[in-house]
Amino acid sequence: MTSPAYQVLDPSTGEVAETFPHATDAEVEGALAAAQTAYTSWKAVPMAERAVVVKRIAALFEERKDELAAIATQEMGKPLSEGVEEAEFCQAIFDYFATEGPTLAADQPIKTFSGGSAVIQRLPIGVLLGIMPWNFPFYQIARFAAPNLMLGNTIVLKHAESVPRSALAVEQIMKDAGLPEGAYVNVFASYDQVETIIADPRVQGVSLTGSERAGAVVAALAGKNLKKCVLELGGSDPMVVLDADDLDSVVSDAWDFRTYNTGQACNSNKRMIVRSEVYADFVEKIVAKAKAVEEFSPLSSRRAAEALDAQVQDAVAKGATLHAGGVLGEAPAAYYSPAVLTGVTPEMRAFREELFGPVAVVYEVASDEEALALANDTTYGLGGSVISKDEARARALAEQLEVGMANVNSTAGEGAEIPFGGVKRSGFGRELGPLGMDEFVNKRMFYVAD
């Protein structure tokens, strides 16, 4: 299969602004060789000194946040203010691991029953391949790169074909911060070259954020070559609303979270499951939110907008109600007006498939038990939330969610210190927080006899 070109295609106009050639095989080999050479020296640098460089990376994300935001807006349509927020989040992530990394990676004494002493050490393992998506072109890199650079691993980064300027901007930050040559290297690799990189004995692990299909391919390649992998894939996260003292606030949070990044976030509340007692009011209020939207950003590509429209039209054709929005703009731009759907049933694509765009799907349930059954009736298991004025009731239901991230009275707990990841077909492994430094690491047992 031929890989798509690396190009800057403005989704607001459909125009191609710049195209970048695929890496040559010689450039891929050069990247791997440089990363391996850098690893031998970078791992020997004391963690406190690595932290100084990682702190500088954080500072540069803050310093260049406006420039980075402008790049993301042109490449994938991200609202400018959200691009600034994303760069600021990157700063927080690099700062977190620079500050907390030495403690998180410290030797862990374990109890022994045969004399002597034993500790678990957390050591780097080598060169890692990161395969990153377009929807958060800086944040996705940060949460992979920050803990691994602190550990002493080195990184070869293959970004999405639609965000090459974002990829180059991050690589420049790494260089300007003082990382050794080769410790972080960007490659505009083709699909075939990605397979070659994963198979290369110098590469010790691969992290992918992307689709189920891409995850299955990468996991198979990693398994074939006996490489550790971390996969963060799709999601169809439930937001269960049992009741509310302030329904306006709940609806506002639900709408804002669903439409953040133009609805293109893996862990957004793609299924809003609402108790009958508040369902009608909830729908009325969220439809009003959708109808009040006058300006909105494009999706990442025309293809994405058309795919979302096909899912919505399939639902409507089979009996679902489209209350607002759902209008596909004229080609070649990628605009799709924020929408609200109800009446989605299992024979519709929208019931099983992830809707990666600004479409709020609201379901009505008559009991907490029905809410839980619907929340777990999915092949995905990324995140989920339960909202209620009775915290104990919300906690009891949230405890039973089959997800990697369960939230009570919050759409999502987020922060550099909060682990991120899922179960089932949402992938495996964790990023961010204490668990973010526990993936690509040699948990070496070190025993000293009496």
61 and 126 in contact (C-beta within 8 Å)? no
Cα angle for residues 210, 213, 215 (degrees, 5° grid): 55
Helices (H), 24-134: 25-42, 47-63, 65-76, 80-104
What ranges in 105-163 are assigned the alpha helix state H?
Answer: 139-151
Provide CB contacts within 8 A for 211, sequence distance 6+.
233, 234
Q: Which residue type does 244 have?
A: A
One DSSP character per residue, 307-374 reads HHHHHHHHHHHTT-EEEE--PBPPTTS--B--EEEE---TTSHHHHS---SSEEEEEEESSHHHHHHH
Round to whole Å and give the CA distance between 403 and 425: 10
Both tokens assigned to 191: 């699909």
Strands 15-20 and 6-10: antiparallel
Catalytic residues: 232, 266
